[in-house]
Amino acid sequence: MKFYQRFAYYLVGLVMGCFFVAMVLSGKDTRCNYFPNARVLNDLRNKPFIYDTEASRRLSEDWVDTTDIKSVLTHGDVDFDKSNIKEEGGKLYIIYGKTSKNAAITLEVLNYPDKAVLRNIIKNDKPN
**Per-residue pLDDT tens over the stretch 8-54:** 999 999 999 999 888 877 766 666 778 999 999 999 999 999 999 99
Does residue 62 carry a pLDDT above 90?
Answer: no
**What is the structure's pLDDT at 21?**
85
> How many beta carbons lie within 10 A of that of residue 26, not counting itself?
8
For residues 95 and 103, is the Cβ–Cβ distance under 8 A?
no
Contacts of 45 (CB under 8 A, 6+ apart): 73, 74
Give dist(CA 27, CA 44) in Å, integer: 23
Question: What's this model's pTM, rounded to 2 decimal places?
Answer: 0.74
Contacts of 33 (CB under 8 A, 6+ apart): 39, 42
| pLDDT more than 90, % of the chain | 63
Give dist(CA 19, CA 125) in Å, integer: 52
